[in-house]
Structure 1
Amino acid sequence: MECNLLDCSNPAEDHITCDVCFIPKYCSERCRNTDSAFHSTSCRPHLYTLKDFTVAKDIKILGTGAYGEVQLVQKNDSKKLFAMKLYRKAYVSQIIPLKILFREISLHKTLKHPNIIRLYDHLEDRVKIYLILEYAEKGSLFDLIRKKIKLAEKEIWPIFTQICVGLNYLHMKNLLHRDLKPENLLINKDDVIKICDFGWSARGTEQRVTFCGTLDYMSPEMLNNRQQSFKVDIWALGILLYEMLHGTPPYRAKNPRDMMRMVAEGRYNIGAHVSNNARQLISLLLQEDPESRPPIIEILKTQWVQQFSEQKLKPGWQVRHPEHGEGTVKESIGLVYTISFQDNDIELIENDLIRMCTIIDQTGEIVYEQSLSIQVKSKLDPEKSNAKKSPLYNKLGIDTAGKACLKPTIKSARNSRNNSGNNSPVVNEPQESLEPTRKNPRLPRSPKVIEEVKRSQQLPSRRFVKQDFEGMNFSPEPTPVQNAKRGGTPKSSFLQRFKKSND
């Protein structure tokens, strides 16, 4: 593994690392000191060890992919369920340096929002990397669309607005998601939407022209290799809204060239069942010029959002904001409120106000007090969606209060979309225990075993390193076949393109 400092490519030493999180490895004390200021912004101590978890018996695999698999695990003491992503270091390192992966992991750990999937901790041994993630009991939005084909606008509204709120949080953090799609939107047992998979995410302050994501959701500027901004996520919101209304994206193409032609023509059919307000919102979001697409705050003011919104705050109510101090609710449009603080007026989203602030009504009674776990309940009809209650919840003692849950034992959406980079076959290995069989994490003392482990950990040399590493795909993709050569051509279309650029 290379030194964690981006400007250094020397081999890292295991003993020169961060004393708090033990994630970055450096070649020298000088590199560690140089990188300390950047690393301190995302450094978090470890919360768990591999011994703290046991693989769930009834549902072991939640998904599979190129880098490994996603397992359902249970914490031994609290019996709480988590999703554990496994990455094979040897395979991931063929695509990007591991230090880039570790930087993205550290970044994800800092994201704390009700509509963002939580990354609690990262663990590793000599062969694999383990991510301890929040578990979403009802699966993905893709599974819901696949079961119901089309969703009613009343069902779509809480889903869409929650995605907007979570996306706004990312944009406020100067982060672009760049791969927003139903497969990357999870639903927990309380119908709260969770944005996940930040593998293609990038910092908004940096210029990006990377060709990445899923073809059905790629924006025109991405297809044409133009500069990307937050507006690539706004385009994806329009595609997402269309797909929830119709059961399929507006543009279906086999390759980027055909997609560019279809997007340039701007022709897509909207069903007669779609309201005029929803039609206008789709047209507003799917504008070819990125500068013409509205920001999140303006989307939440549109007529379609107003049509189903029920204002929880009233003009004249007092607001105590942790940063801006005391203010008064002035007016509201849709889910956006104008708050008059001492210095100026600021527009804030309703969910963020309730989550972050103390709200006092005109009688002096506290209505909301930093409700960090605020939930926007969706009106999903489990009966119509043919949802079934998983027997796992009864065996593990989870109370679902009689609510039906979508079956979580889903495969990754390998066959759901063309050109998504997840269409290759996968080889799953049985893995009952998370803890390595040997007690000592160091290499065994037997010379024969040492040679076998070394051969299994040899990494291919790279003559060229891609510069735009921020497009790391965290979503699991199919692992290579056991008999395949290490230097063979990757089966993913995106990896093939990357392989050619290296050669």
Structure 2
Amino acid sequence: MNPLPDLGFPSQIGGLDLHAVIRCGSTGSVHAAIDPQTGKTVVVKLLHRPPAMVVHDVVFNHPNIVQIFDHGCERGQHYVVMEYAPEGSLKGRLRSLQNLDTDTALSWIRQVLLALDHLHSYGMLHRDIKPDNLLFFPDDRLKVSDLGLMCPMRGSPPAPMGTPGFMSPEQIMGLPLDPRSDLFSLGVVFYRMVTGRFPFSGSSVSARLNATLLSSPPWPSHLQSTLSRSISQVIMCAISKRPSQRFADAKKFLMAIDEIGNAVMVK
């Protein structure tokens, strides 16, 4: 792995030598690095701004959440050190697939819901669920990553932040958030998985935001005739404009997809 060229990023932080730039996003840049103590590849995220809060490690202790090894601030640069995902992201998988089979989609959505249920049980919201932030590990294990926008449920409504096209209506409008906002974002991901397209699209940020607030996407089963009505109902429930019409929490969402999975097994 070659050292990082001079692109305005530090070449070293937290005792780690930064190498390849994996991606750059709204909250920071993600880099591959080598841990000199173990020789293993890790991921370092350089944050554009200080993290909104410091969270106890127990919040990240879940098999479907990317492990955090270290975090800190060095020479004014805030950073987080995380485990490396050797199998890439859901975004990468979806590039090569028009749409997924039902069993695979249900399995992956279920794993994300387990992670969200864990975060929500500690009073935390992710606020940026999207294919880029869902990473694969061996044995097809999917983990939620990039907790840079995570915030507590209670308190003043957070400033509108997230990714247009995935943000819930209440997130866009700067209203109080609860678990149903994360479930909306996951519903958007689910829609893309099984139809090959996003429910709220547009050629610009404002177009995607307006689509989320105003447009009514077609039912997934209208786009993919092989999809069952029950899967379409689950997805459309998750992406309802009004939080009151969505699943109340991740457990309810899990129950709904498990019922579909059981029905498929019976057939």
TM-score, normalised to structure 2, is 0.81
Q: Which runs of 5+ in 2 are unaligned?
A: 1-12
Equivalent of 1:268 in 218, 233, 245: 218
> Equivalents in 2 of 1:246, 1:296: separation in Å?
22
Q: How far did 1:309 drift?
A: 4.9
- Aligned residue in 2 for 1:213: 162
Larger Rg over CA atoms = 1
Partner-residue secondary structure (3-state), 2:252: helix
Q: How far did 1:81 drift?
A: 2.0
Alignment of 1:294-333 (within 5 A): 294=247, 295-302=249-256, 304-309=257-262
Whether the 8 Å CA contact 1:251–1:268 is kept in 2: the answer is: no
Q: How far did 1:248 drift?
A: 2.0
Deviates more, 1:170-179 or 1:73-82: 73-82
> Equivalents in 2 of 1:203, 1:108: separation in Å?
12
> Equivalents in 2 of 1:237, 1:126: separation in Å?
36
> Equivalents in 2 of 1:121, 1:241: separation in Å?
31
- Aligned residue in 1 for 2:187: 238
Equivalent of 1:197 in 119, 128, 146: 146
Whether the 8 Å CA contact 2:192–2:199 is kept in 1: the answer is: yes
1:246–1:109 distance in 2 versus 1, CA, 3 Å: same
RMSD: 2.6
- Give identity over the alignment, percent: 24
Q: How far did 1:183 drift?
A: 0.7
- Aligned residue in 2 for 1:287: 240
Q: Which has the higher helix share?
A: 2
- Aligned residue in 2 for 1:86: 46
> Equivalents in 2 of 1:203, 1:158: separation in Å?
28
Q: 1:107 corresponds to which letter in structure 2?
A: V
Q: Deviation per CA, 1:376-435, whole angstroms, max 9, x where unpaired?
A: xxxxxxxxxxxxxxxxxxxxxxxxxxxxxxxxxxxxxxxxxxxxxxxxxxxxxxxxxxxx
Deviates more, 1:185-194 or 1:123-132: 123-132
Q: 2:94 corresponds to which letter in structure 1?
A: I
Q: 1:191 corresponds to which letter in structure 2?
A: D
Partner-residue secondary structure (3-state), 2:217: coil
> Equivalents in 2 of 1:129, 1:308: separation in Å?
42
Q: How far did 1:269 drift?
A: 4.5
- Aligned residue in 2 for 1:360: none
> Equivalents in 2 of 1:77, 1:199: separation in Å?
26
- Aligned residue in 1 for 2:22: 62
Q: Deviation per CA, 1:212-248, whole angstroms, max 9, x where unpaired?
A: 1111112122333433222111111211110111222
Q: Which runs of 5+ in 1 are unaligned?
A: 1-48, 311-503
Q: How far did 1:258 drift?
A: 6.5
Equivalent of 2:112 in 149, 159, 163: 163
> Equivalents in 1 of 2:197, 2:95: separation in Å?
10
> Equivalents in 1 of 2:14, 2:170: separation in Å?
43
- Aligned residue in 1 for 2:91: 142
Whether the 8 Å CA contact 1:251–1:263 is kept in 2: the answer is: no
Q: 1:114 corresponds to which letter in structure 2?
A: P
- Aligned residue in 2 for 1:439: none
Partner-residue secondary structure (3-state), 1:129: strand
Alignment of 1:31-110 (within 5 A): 50-51=14-15, 53-54=16-17, 60-65=20-25, 69-87=29-47, 92=48, 98=50, 101=51, 104=53, 106-107=54-55, 109-110=57-58
Q: Deviation per CA, 1:142-174, whole angstroms, max 9, x where unpaired?
A: 100011121111111111000000000011010
Alignment of 1:451-466 (within 5 A): none
> Equivalents in 2 of 1:50, 1:259: separation in Å?
38
Q: 1:70 corresponds to which letter in structure 2?
A: V
Q: Relative CO higher for 1 or 2, CA cutoff 8 Å, sep ≥ 6?
A: 1
1:50–1:213 distance in 2 versus 1, CA, 3 Å: closer
Q: How far did 1:181 drift?
A: 0.6
- Aligned residue in 2 for 1:180: 129
Whether the 8 Å CA contact 1:181–1:240 is kept in 2: the answer is: yes
Whether the 8 Å CA contact 1:159–1:193 is kept in 2: the answer is: yes
> Equivalents in 2 of 1:131, 1:199: separation in Å?
9
Q: 1:307 corresponds to which letter in structure 2?
A: I
Q: How far did 1:250 drift?
A: 0.9
Q: How far did 1:284 drift?
A: 1.6
> Equivalents in 2 of 1:133, 1:108: separation in Å?
15
1:252–1:68 distance in 2 versus 1, CA, 3 Å: closer
Q: Deviation per CA, 1:263-313, whole angstroms, max 9, x where unpaired?
A: 4342325221322221111122122220221121111122x4223259xxx
Q: 1:222 corresponds to which letter in structure 2?
A: Q
TM-score, normalised to structure 1, is 0.45
Partner-residue secondary structure (3-state), 2:258: helix
> Equivalents in 1 of 2:28, 2:246: separation in Å?
37
Whether the 8 Å CA contact 2:21–2:30 is kept in 1: the answer is: yes
Partner-residue secondary structure (3-state), 2:138: coil
Whether the 8 Å CA contact 1:220–1:260 is kept in 2: the answer is: no
Partner-residue secondary structure (3-state), 1:148: coil
- Aligned residue in 1 for 2:10: none
